[in-house]
A and B are shown apart, each in its own frame.
Chain A
Amino acid sequence: MELVYGHPKSLKPIQTKYCPGCGHGVIHRLITEVIDEMGMQEKSIILNPVGCSIWASLYFDFDSVQVPHGRTPAGATAVKRMLPDHLVICYQGDGDLAAIGTAEAVHAANRGEKFTTIFVNNAIYGMTGGQMAPTTLVGQKATTAPYGRDPIENGMGYPIRVLEMLATLGGTKYLARGAVNNAVNVRKTKQYIRKAFEAQMRGEGSSMVEILSQCPTNWAMEPADSVGWVESAMIPFYALGEIKNELADVAGKEAGK
C-alpha cells in the first residue's frame, strides 16, 4: 500500500511548546519534509535564533548551533564555510533578522554565503510578549506601540520589506516570500524552501525564504482570525512570490517569471 502521509523523519514526534495557531510548527514541518525528500537529515544543521524558535533544537532531529540574538547569519556563515557539503539553515524571526541582526543579515547575503535563511515574519516580537517589530504594519498595535505603529508623529518608522531590500545585492540568488495561512500558500512555500535548499547544495549563493506567519497570542486574535489577518493585512503589503530568482537552474524557475 502506498504511504500518502507520515510524520517527517527529521522532525521529532513530540508536541511543541508553540502557542495554538502559531506558524512555527507548520514551517518546521515544511523544512523537515524537504530535508527528508532530499535525504539530507544526517547532513543538516540548523542555526537557532533568539526568539520563540529558540526551541527549534528540541524538535529538529539534526544538529544545531544557537547563537546570540541577531548573529544567526554570522554563525551560519562560518558553519557553512567549514562544512560546505552540509545543508545549513539559518532560522530567524523578524526581530532577529531585521532589527538587531540587520548588519549580519545584509552582509552575509551580500557575500553570497551559501546557506538558506528561513525568515519567519509575524510582524511582532513573540517571545518577549508582543513588542513592535521592524515588520509591524503601520497602525498595528503592539505593547511598545500602544496606539498602533505610527511612522510620523512618534517616529516609529515603516515596516521593512526585507527581501526587496536584499534583492539589490549581488550575492543574493534566490529570494521568495510565502505564507502558511492556508493550504495553497503552505504548498507554495514548501516549493520555495525546496528550491532554496537545492540551490544551496548546488552552491549557488545566498538564498532566503520569508514566510508570513501567524502569532495569534500576541496579535490578540483567535487562531482562525489570525490566518485571515495574514491574508487581509499582511499579504497586501508583503507581496507573495519569488522576489528574485537568479538561479542557474532555469527549468526550476516559477512559470511566468
Chain B
Amino acid sequence: MAAEKRLMKGNEAMGEAAVRAGCDAYFGYPITPQNELTAYMAKHMIDHKRVFIQAESEVSAINMVYGAAATGARSMTSSSSPGVSLKQEGISYACGADVPMVVINVARSGPGLGGISPAQGDYFQSTRGGGHGDYHHIVLAPKSVQEAADLTFEAFDLADEWRMPAMILADGMIGQMMEGVVLPEPKDPATRVAKPWAVGNKGKRAELNHVDSTQLVPENFEKALHARYARYDEIKRTVARWEEQHLEDADVILSAYGTSARVCLGAMQMARKLGLKVGLLRPITLWPFPEKRFGELAGKRFLVVEMSMGQMVEDVRLYTHGKSEVSFYGRCGGMIPTEEDVLAEIRRILKK
C-alpha cells in the first residue's frame, strides 16, 4: 500500500522526518519563522520519550546538540538566520571534533535582526564554514515540503556517515507553506552507522574516547586538517547532487536553489512556451557544490536567481572557470522573485 499523503507545513514535515529518522535529542530556542518546528519536536519527542529541551539560547542549544551527539545520539537543532549565526561557534567545534549533527536553518532576511520574511542571504555562512577555522559541512537545500522532509531524513545518515554537521538550508517559504508530503518510513535503528568514537558505555573498549577539537601542536593539527580535507574531497566526489532540466539545447541556464528554483522552474516553463531555449540547473547540495557539473557546462550562458544580493552566483562564476557569461537577478530583504520577473530577465538577456 502506498504511504498516505499528508498536507503539512514545511516546518512540521521536517520535524516529523527527524522523528522518523530516529532523532534521539532535540534542542531549540524560539525564533520566527521556524517556531512550528520546535513546537512539533516538543510534542513528538516527549511523546516518543526522547530528549527535548528548550534551551536558554541558541548558543546553549547547539552545545547541547554537540553533547548529545558526543554520546553517539542522533541530535538536532533548528533555528532561523540570526539564531544560526549564534550557533556558528558550536558548529565550528563540531566540525573540529568530527561530531555529526543536524542543523535546520529556516532562513529569514538579514543582516542584523532583519525581517521575518523568506531570504537566501545565508548561503555564504552555510557553505564557507560560518564560524572560525578551516572547515566545511554538508548543506542541503530543499525546494518543497516533500524534499524538506526527505532531505531532513537523509541528513541524519549523511551526518553520521561523514562525521560532520549536515545543515538543511530552507527558508521561510519552505517552512511556512503547506504541501502534500509522503513521509519516509521510520528508520530502523539497527541500520545506523556504528559510532565507536562516542563517549560513554566504555565497557571493554581499550582506548579512551575524547570528543575534542583541541589541537595545540601545529605539526599534528596540520596533519589532522589535511586528513579532514581528504575526506571533504571524497564527499565532493560522492555526495554532490543537483537537478537539471532542458540543458541540452539551452541558450541560457537558470541556476537557483530552494524557493528561487521553484520560481525559476515556472519562468523556464513560461519561456519554453514562448519558444525560448531555457534550462534549469538546481543545486540540491550547496556544499558540496556540484562544481563538476558546472565545469562541464562552462561556456554556456547562466542566469543565477537568488533571494539575496548575490551569493551562490560567486560559485557559479568560480566553477564555470571564467568561460561563462554569468548574470544575476536577485530580490532581497524578504522579497521573493516572481516568475514574471525572471522571465523578463531572460528576455532581456536573450534580447527576445
Residues of chain A having any CB pair with chain B under 8 Å: 42-43, 45, 47-48, 54, 57, 61-68, 71, 74-79, 81-83, 86, 103-104, 106-107, 111
Residues of chain B having any CB pair with chain A under 8 Å: 24-25, 27, 51, 53, 55-57, 59-61, 63-68, 70-71, 73, 75, 89-90, 93, 97, 199-203, 208-214
CA gap between A58 and B201 in the complex, in Å? 19
Given A78-B73, A82-B24, list of 9 further CB < 8 A pairs? A61-B208, A66-B97, A66-B212, A68-B90, A75-B64, A75-B67, A78-B53, A78-B70, A79-B71
Known: A66-B213, A81-B53, A103-B56. A74 touches B64 (CB 8 A): yes
CA gap between A79 and B209 in the complex, in Å? 14
CA gap between A79 and B25 in the complex, in Å? 11
Smallest beta-carbon distance A129→chain B, Å: 16
Q: Pick from A45, A54, A61, A74: contact of B199, CB below 8 A.
A: A45
Sort A-B residue pairs by CB-CB distance and give the 8 closest, nearest first.
Answer: A78-B67, A75-B67, A74-B63, A71-B63, A78-B68, A63-B199, A107-B56, A78-B64
Q: Which residue of A lies closest to B64 (CB)?
A: A78
Taking a contact as CB atoms under 8 Å apart, the answer to whether A47 and B209 are in contact is: no
Which residues of B are found within 8 Å of A65, using beta-carbon distances? 66-67, 70, 199, 210-212
Which residues of B are found within 8 Å of A63, using beta-carbon distances? 199-200, 202, 208-210
- Interface SS of chain B: mixed
CA gap between A104 and B67 in the complex, in Å? 13
Which residues of B are found within 8 Å of A66, using beta-carbon distances? 97, 210-214
Q: Pick from B60, B63, B68, B90: contact of A81, CB below 8 A.
A: B68
CA gap between A221 and B351 in the complex, in Å? 80
Taking a contact as CB atoms under 8 Å apart, the answer to whether A47 and B200 are in contact is: no
CA gap between A61 and B205 in the complex, in Å? 12
CA gap between A180 and B193 in the complex, in Å? 45
Smallest beta-carbon distance A100→chain B, Å: 10
Q: Pick from A67, A78, A81, A104: contact of B56, CB below 8 A.
A: A104
25 sample A-B contacts, Cβ–Cβ < 8 Å, listed by A number: A42-B203, A43-B202, A54-B214, A63-B200, A63-B210, A64-B208, A64-B209, A65-B66, A65-B70, A66-B210, A66-B213, A67-B66, A68-B89, A68-B93, A74-B64, A74-B67, A78-B53, A78-B64, A78-B73, A78-B75, A79-B71, A82-B73, A83-B201, A86-B200, A104-B63
